[in-house]
Structure 1
Amino acid sequence: MSDQTRNLPALSKQVTELVLAGSLGHAEQAFADAADQYGDLAVVEVLSSIPPQVTALHMAGFDGGKMSLATLLVPPKAWADSLAFIAATWPDDQIEDDPERIAESLFAHVHGVVFATDDEERRNELLAAASAPDHGATMFAILFSMAPKEILEVAGEIIAKGPYLTGQTSSDNDVVPLAIALAQASEDGWDRALFELFPEFRHSADLADAEFNDDPDEEQNFLQRSTKELLYRLRKQVPSTRVVKTSRRSVGTGIFS
């Protein structure tokens, strides 16, 4: 048995305890030490073995401006599983008081992981895995709710150009490249996120013909879920599980119990 094989369970336990104690910097250092000693695959193995709610807590501490080994190396399935718990890391009152800030933070997280490297194959695997479960469709709908007009435009481009979609639209909104990347990585994931945001529509072609009203004081002529509503929907999708109790109550009162 190699040293790496013997030490991985201990490293997984160490990282889990550090994250639950709120010591994200020390957990990241443990990853760095393991990578130096055993290689990146050791970090990949640990990220595959620790509970997804622990991965969610760890990665929630790193947005697009804070690179981490977990961001670079998290396996697609492990990341997708962790996203089921990310809503539990939000302060209880922030969904109500500042939903846009949470959505922007979530976007920074997703964008940071998906575009951490130039590896297109990894990007497609991450997007396909993340968008496959129900919580993934809700999560992407939250991101798209920040730019609904632009998302409708992308839907129209996809219907018009199909596999020949170039990624060029009239919008420079940061959400657009992520939306196009999702559509290219997973047609099913794109459709499910789209219909989570616009629940009245069941056909992309119909949605592409919908006209977005630019007047914020007037209601849209079709149903669109708000960012706040989608955040609450994702919060309700957090699985119930038991982890070691910690003093870090700010991540959501009793959400993991």
Structure 2
Amino acid sequence: MTDKNLPAIRKQVTELVLAGSLEHAERAFAEAADQHGDLAVVEVLQELPPHVTALHMSGFDGGKMSLATLLVPPKQWAESLAYLAATWPDDMIEDDPERIAESLFAHIHGVVFGTEDEERRAELLKEASATDWGCTAFAILFSLAPKEVLEVAGEVISKGAYLTGQTASDNDIVPVAVALAQANEDGWDRALFELFPEFRHSADLADAEFSDDPDEEPEHLQRSTKELLYRLRKQVPTTRSGTGRERARRSIGTGIFG
């Protein structure tokens, strides 16, 4: 694709997305791929503003697949995650936070597991969990299944680099948690501490227990799904806030894969 084509396609896609014409934007991506190859879509996605990428990809969660889902560069996807929170209505955060969290899960799962390329999958997870908002996004997913996530944490502590992903739970959150732990130890720790802010050491999680009674108050401080959604909303970047990539906050967990 020539340099002359790229700005025109980028402008077309941006205008369509901002106008709410996501199907037409997707058609523009498909036409670019047909005429110039998949690399053309990758190049356009590299140049799109992250909030435009977020708006477009948020319309293709779950069963609806987008070329952007399959081809978005890891860094651009990581940057766009922050802006997803800006698309959530306040009343839905208040009244149905689990529904938003499930939609976020569908988005993240679709991008990460939309590829069988292990290197790309690992890079997607590394880039996403290298940001404050990415770690909060993963914590939102984990808030849907805290007991299962604690089980994965115990497996991570005991098996380290030999983590296989085999757990007693078949919850859909588990493969995402395992993949994150395998791809980025620091990002995994930071996401856990977002959900369980009392913990300051990974090994503490191995001893934590959750009741089988969903109505029983958890023994350990745990941020709710709603609280985490608002937390992510506050992390939407501005021109003055920077990128949010591991600024001063580093993991304070154990070097489990060391």
In the alignment, structure 1 residue 240 sits paired with structure 2 residue 238: yes
CA offsets per residue over residues 26-78 of structure 1, 9 Å max, x none?
A: 10010111111111111101101010000000000001311110000000000
* 1:109-128 matches, cutoff 5 A: 109-128=107-126
What is residue 103 of structure 1 aligned with on the other side? 101
**In structure 2, what residue type is equivalent to 1:38?**
H
**In structure 2, what residue type is equivalent to 1:55?**
T
Shift of 1:238: 1.1
1:219 is aligned, of 212, 217, 220, to 217
1:7 is aligned, of 5, 8, 18, to 5
Shift of 1:92: 2.1
Shift of 1:217: 3.1
Q: Structure 2 CA distance, aligned partners of 1:40 and 1:76?
A: 15
TM-score between the two structures when normalised by the length of structure 2: 0.91
In the alignment, structure 1 residue 43 sits paired with structure 2 residue 41: yes
Shift of 1:202: 1.0
What is residue 161 of structure 2 aligned with on the other side? 163
Q: Structure 2 CA distance, aligned partners of 1:218 and 1:49?
A: 48
CA offsets per residue over residues 157-183 of structure 1, 9 Å max, x none?
A: 010111111100000000000000000
What is residue 136 of structure 1 aligned with on the other side? 134
2:192 is aligned, of 183, 191, 194, to 194
Q: Structure 1 CA distance, aligned partners of 2:112 and 2:34?
A: 24
- CA RMSD, Structure 1 to Structure 2 (Å): 0.9
- Runs in 1 of length 4+ with deviation above 4 angstroms? none
Shift of 1:219: 1.8
What is residue 94 of structure 1 aligned with on the other side? 92
Q: Structure 2 CA distance, aligned partners of 1:184 and 1:239?
A: 28
Shift of 1:212: 1.0
Shift of 1:220: 1.7
**In structure 1, what residue type is equivalent to 2:156?**
I
Q: Which runs of 5+ in 2 are unaligned?
A: 240-258
Shift of 1:20: 0.1
Stretch of structure 1 that moved more, 210-219 or 158-167 = 210-219
Q: Structure 1 CA distance, aligned partners of 2:62 and 2:114?
A: 8
What is residue 256 of structure 2 aligned with on the other side? none
Number of positions where the alignment pairs a residue of Structure 1 with one of Structure 2: 239
- The alignment-based identity, stated in percent, is 81
Stretch of structure 1 that moved more, 209-218 or 56-65 = 209-218
Secondary structure of the equivalent of 2:4? Answer: helix
What is residue 145 of structure 1 aligned with on the other side? 143
Q: Structure 2 CA distance, aligned partners of 1:50 and 1:211?
A: 44
In the alignment, structure 1 residue 184 sits paired with structure 2 residue 177: no
In the alignment, structure 1 residue 19 sits paired with structure 2 residue 43: no
Q: Which runs of 5+ in 1 are unaligned?
A: 242-257
Kept in 2: contact 1:4–1:42 (CA 8 A): no
CA offsets per residue over residues 75-112 of structure 1, 9 Å max, x none?
A: 00000000010001112210000000000000000000
